[in-house]
Amino acid sequence: MSFFTRRLDPRAAISVWVLGTAAVIITARTNVLMVESGFILLAVCALGLFGKWISSLRLILPVTLFVFAVSAVFFSMAEAAFLGLRLICLLTLSFALFQKVSVEEMGESARRIGLPYGVSFILTSSMRYVPLLGERLTSIMDAQISRGIDLRPRLRNIPNFLALVIPLLIQAILLSDHLAMAMEARGFGRKERTFRKVMRIGAMDWAVMALSSVLFALFVWWELPHKLGAG
């Protein structure tokens, strides 16, 4: 099994994501950021996510273009291009993480690194319910439009958005009530807790984390003077 197709422990994947995100944030030069974006794209291809990443551009590009336009107005075009490229790198790194690490694994990883179970459960639930509420919002919007309510983004349609907000608020309250009842039925407050799957960090995971940490330290040593000089 090759290095890229091997399933890393979620904690190792998250640590690589954190270091990669930090490296992009501290980068101060456009040419270095372009090299980083090339490596990120190669990693996406190696992970077999290139097709999904292309599909995700329909969400990434509008946000990037908005940041570029605002930055071009208040700063220079060069600064706008730099900020736009940095945003694409950050969003691509997050895309790769969420494609390879499930919500349950993120919550379990948070618990294993020392966070209380309640905090990791809140993290997991929020990541689960935000897409669910998005689906409910789409269904409510379709239902209200079929009833003849104009929800197009116009100034005179602002009062009509109450027909969207109130049902969504009711749906959110019902979901939270159902979740609370399910938690109570399963004994959420019990101190003794067992888990179906136990995570174990293997030698390859330690090697990946060590290598990424060393590379990040070298990168900080090389790039930080330029960052401080730019600041």
Provide the residue-wise pLDDT of the chain in tens; the chain has 231 residues: 344 445 677 888 888 999 999 999 998 888 889 999 999 999 899 888 888 888 888 888 888 888 899 888 888 888 899 999 999 999 999 899 888 887 777 777 777 777 777 777 777 777 777 777 778 888 888 888 888 888 777 778 788 888 888 888 888 888 888 877 877 777 776 666 666 666 777 788 888 889 999 999 999 888 877 666 655
Would you call 20 helix, strand, or coil by DSSP?
helix
Per-residue pLDDT at 91: 92
114: left (phi over 0), alpha (psi -120 to 50) or beta: left
Q: Residue 15: name the closest of 128, 130, 129, 112 by CA.
A: 112
| Domain ranges for the chain | 10-101+201-230, 116-185
Give the DSSP per-residue string, 168-184: HHHHHHHHHHHHHHHHH
Per-residue pLDDT at 38: 92
Task: Please state, in angstroms and rounded to a whole number, the distance separating the CA atoms of residues 16 and 166.
Answer: 41
Identify the burial level of 171 via C-beta atoms within 10 angstroms of its C-beta, where 0-12 means exposed, 13-18 middle and 19 or more buried.
middle
How far, rounded to the nearest angstrom, does the alpha carbon of residue 201 sit from its chain's CA centroid? Answer: 23
Q: Residue 64: name the closest of 102, 95, 19 by CA.
A: 95
Give the DSSP per-residue string, 126-162: HHHHHHHHHHHHHHHHHHHHHTT---SS-GGGGGGGH
Non-local CB neighbours of 80 within 8 Å, separated by 6+ positions: 67, 68, 69, 71, 72
Q: Residue 29: name the closest of 216, 212, 215, 231 by CA.
A: 231
How far, rounded to the nearest angstrom, does the alpha carbon of residue 180 sit from its chain's CA centroid? Answer: 26
194: left (phi over 0), alpha (psi -120 to 50) or beta: beta
Q: Residue 32: name the closest of 75, 73, 85 by CA.
A: 85
Task: Please state, in angstroms and rounded to a whole number, the distance separating the CA atoms of residues 64 and 29.
Answer: 19
Q: Residue 168: name the closest of 191, 143, 188, 147 by CA.
A: 143
Per-residue pLDDT at 202: 79
Single-letter code of the amino acid located at 185: A
Please state the pTM of the whole predicted model: 0.70
Per-residue pLDDT at 228: 66
